[in-house]
């Protein structure tokens, strides 16, 4: 009777603690058969029947002893986050949680809803389920893993692969390991990435403000191309196998290039109707260097490097400002239209095509894999750089091999090939397409990674009807009808006045934030003094509270500054130590040090934004 009470409690506790996972478990499907066996030394163990073979997830002799041996091989004191791949019947999880430090966390990923359900029905797991240090996920996507690990990426993580679970789902748990490892390593470098790019984004938008004023938004094309097929041309290694199809159908479909494929199409005698560019780095401007006058319309994010607009010799339409730093510009002068970011310019291109109403949207060169051992289509700018970097002892093949092995490779089902190699970076893009699950998208890429949830077709199977119109002329007319140039002068004056107002707000905050840094420095010194002066402590806290109130009241300045201190905010919210010696500080001292770090970041952000606004004003005055 006691055992049954424990079992019911396990299920009830699980439902209460993990309601979404519980629903997924109860509603999930599982084609496998799982038998429950009694181990010789006691305890129930599951046996999975697959392809006529029986696989025991735990020892059929003594699952507890096996679990102890497994956990004894782990340095539980050296880590405070354990990511376990495979729940099974949780013998190993019980042993892990029994011996790990109190502040440690355990995240368990289990593929099978049936396995988890049977574990809760057949074992009393109430002790570990009641423990707030345990998190359980069933067959999670990347977003679920990201949510589960949010704020925990600064922990010392140990990835534990449960042997019994692995033998049954080898590929699944290998990929899950790579996803988790990639997430943790990505979060590790996010601070450095923000430090590098946040100022580049801001600087590029400021220098592009003139282009922003006099260019129409991408939304002038939204819902205007209904019923016309679109071909998205990426620069995957198999692109050249699709060039003849694109050339044959260039008058029957909207051709949308990405920056990396643009010159490949031009060299093949194909002038695309649109080209998409979103990356802020100067290298992306090189994709257009040397290209002549064109009817192709450049669809650009306003944060791209200004050189893009010097090298590209054709009409331009811009997306809205997606980043908070200058979001007020977009809202103040009317939205130009947003395009969803999926991490790759190809995802931007696909989203743009869908927003125009084009149907079907056909993907080509979207390999998302190292097809044939190559990273890019031959003849692309990136491919040319391979040959510029090669030498007698460092061949192009060696460079591509380096690209293939820079991140751990992941083997996935191919389009034509049985399997192809990809990596976690490209798996993120693949996941974006998969999640769209859009029947209007057809992947006609010659080879590469097969995208689940997207229909695939070879070029030979596709027939595009005559649209009965000149697509290029129609696109040109849509662009000319925008006629944004006529109001540019008035917009420039209004924007200049708004910039002046915001700059005054920010400049008034700089001396205030400078004093706040001094107060926070004094507070940190006081907190480290064992004989604290409480009156002095209250005074400093009062001054910092007053600073917070004033900053909060400067609405426009606050929004701009907050964006340019994302690196600081990320460091604090993710729990990273600011200095190596911070682990020796008390919790109160660490809180004060983070406050100190925040005020320094706010001061730096205010000074930077003052420069950005000054640059923007000078661009407007010059009429660029």
481-512 residue pLDDT tens: 987 766 667 778 888 888 888 889 899 999 99
**pLDDT score recorded for residue 20:** 92
Average pLDDT, the chain: 84
Distance of CA 511 to the CA centre of its chain: 37
Cα 621 to Cα 280: distance, rounded to the nearest angstrom: 24
Q: CB–CB of 260/380 below 8 Å? A: yes
Residue found under tokens 């923000």:
194
Token pair of 283 as six digits: 């290298």
Cα 160 to Cα 177: distance, rounded to the nearest angstrom: 9
Strand partners, 45: 37
Cα 130 to Cα 447: distance, rounded to the nearest angstrom: 49
**pLDDT score recorded for residue 379:** 65
Q: CB–CB of 179/111 below 8 Å? A: no
CA dihedral 491, 493, 498, 500 (to 10 degrees): 150
List, as one string, the DSSP characters of 341-356. Answer: --SSHHHHHHHHHHHH
Q: What percent of the chain is helix, strand and coil (3-state, nearest 5)?
A: 55, 15, 30
277 three-state secondary structure: strand
Strand partners, 48: 34, 55
Cα 489 to Cα 153: distance, rounded to the nearest angstrom: 49
CA torsion sign for 355, 358, 361, 362 is negative
Burial of 500 (0-12, 13-18, 19+ CB in 10 A): exposed
Altogether, the residues listed in the chain come to a count of 624
Q: Cα separations (Å) of 374 from 237, 341, 399, 433?
A: 6, 25, 9, 22
pTM of the model: 0.67
CA angle 599, 605, 606 (to 5 degrees): 90
* Eight-state DSSP code of residue 75: -
Angle of helix 2-17 versus helix 19-27 axis, rounded to 10: 110
Q: 2-188 maps to which CATH number? A: 3.40.50
Strand partners, 378: none
Q: Which of 89, 84, 79, 96 is nearest to 137 (CA)?
A: 84
Token pair of 199 as six digits: 């100022």
Kindly give the parts of the chain with pLDDT less than 50. 1-7, 188-189, 382-403, 405
Strand arrangement, sheet containing 134-138: 134-138, 105-110, 81-85, 157-161
Strand partners, 471: none
Q: Give the residue extent of every domain in the chain.
A: 2-188, 208-483, 487-622
List, as one string, the DSSP characters of 543-608. Answer: HHHHHHHHHHH-HHHHHHHHHTTHHHHHHHHTT--SSGGGGGS-HHHHHHHHHHHHHHHHHHHHHH
Token pair of 442 as six digits: 């057809």
Q: Which of 67, 268, 265 is nearest to 276 (CA)?
A: 265
């Amino acid at each position: 009777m006691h055992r049954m009470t424990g079992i019911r409690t396990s299920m009830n506790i699980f439902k209460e603690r993990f309601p979404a996972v519980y629903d997924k478990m109860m509603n999930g499907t599982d084609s496998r058969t799982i038998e429950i066996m009694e181990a010789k030394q006691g305890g129930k163990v599951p046996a999975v029947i697959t392809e006529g073979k029986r696989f025991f997830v735990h020892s059929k002799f003594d699952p507890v002893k096996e679990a102890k041996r497994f956990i004894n091989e782990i340095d539980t004191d050296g880590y405070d986050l354990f990511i376990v791949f495979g729940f099974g019947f949780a013998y190993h999880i019980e042993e892990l949680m029994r011996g790990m430090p109190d502040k440690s966390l355990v995240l368990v990923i289990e593929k099978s809803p049936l396995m988890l359900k049977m574990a809760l029905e057949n074992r009393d797991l109430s002790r570990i389920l009641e423990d707030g240090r345990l998190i359980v996920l069933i067959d999670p996507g990347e977003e679920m893993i990201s949510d589960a690990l949010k704020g925990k990426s600064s922990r010392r993580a140990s990835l534990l692969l449960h042997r019994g679970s692995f033998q049954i789902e080898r590929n699944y748990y290998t990929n899950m390991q790579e996803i988790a490892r990639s997430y943790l390593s990505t979060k590790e470098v996010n601070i450095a990435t923000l430090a590098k790019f946040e100022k580049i984004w801001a600087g590029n938008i400021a220098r592009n403000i003139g282009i922003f004023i006099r260019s129409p938004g991408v939304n002038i094309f939204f819902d205007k191309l209904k019923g016309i097929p679109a071909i998205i041309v990426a620069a995957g290694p198999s692109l050249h196998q699709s060039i003849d199809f694109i050339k044959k159908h260039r008058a029957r479909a909207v051709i949308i290039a990405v920056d990396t494929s643009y010159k490949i199409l031009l060299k093949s005698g194909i002038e695309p109707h649109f080209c998409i560019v979103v990356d802020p780095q100067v290298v992306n401007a090189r994709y257009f260097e040397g290209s002549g006058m064109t009817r192709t319309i450049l669809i650009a994010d306003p944060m791209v490097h200004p050189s893009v607009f010097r090298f590209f010799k054709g009409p331009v339409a811009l997306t809205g400002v997606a980043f908070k730093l200058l979001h007020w510009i977009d809202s103040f002068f009317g939205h130009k239209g947003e395009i969803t970011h999926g991490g790759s310019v190809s995802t931007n291109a696909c989203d743009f095509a869908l927003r125009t109403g084009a149907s079907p949207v056909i993907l080509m060169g979207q390999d998302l894999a190292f097809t044939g051992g190559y990273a890019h289509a031959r003849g692309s700018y990136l491919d040319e750089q391979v040959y510029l970097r090669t030498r007698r002892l460092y061949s192009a093949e060696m460079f591509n091999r380096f690209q293939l092995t820079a991140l751990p490779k992941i083997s996935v089902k191919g389009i034509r090939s049985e399997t192809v190699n990809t990596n976690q970076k490209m798996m993120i893009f693949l996941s974006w397409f998969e999640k769209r699950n859009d029947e209007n998208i057809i992947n006609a890429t010659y080879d590469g990674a097969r995208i689940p949830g997207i229909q695939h077709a070879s070029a030979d199977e596709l027939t595009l009807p005559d649209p009965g119109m000149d697509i290029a002329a129609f696109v040109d007319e849509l662009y000319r009808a925008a006629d944004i140039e006529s109001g540019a002068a008035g917009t420039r004056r209004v924007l200049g006045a708004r910039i002046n107002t915001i700059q005054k707000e920010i400049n008034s905050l700089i001396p205030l934030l400078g004093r706040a840094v001094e107060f926070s420095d004094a507070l940190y010194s006081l907190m480290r003094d064992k004989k604290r002066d409480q009156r002095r402590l209250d005074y400093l806290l009062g001054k910092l509270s007053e600073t917070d109130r004033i900053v909060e009241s400067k609405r426009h300045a606050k929004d701009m500054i907050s964006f340019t201190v994302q690196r600081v905010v990320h460091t604090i919210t993710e729990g990273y130590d600011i200095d190596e010696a911070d682990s020796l500080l008390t919790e109160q001292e660490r809180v004060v040090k983070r406050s100190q770090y925040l005020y320094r970041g706010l001061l730096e952000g205010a000074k930077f934004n003052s420069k950005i606004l000054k640059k923007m004003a000078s661009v407007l005055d010059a009429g660029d």
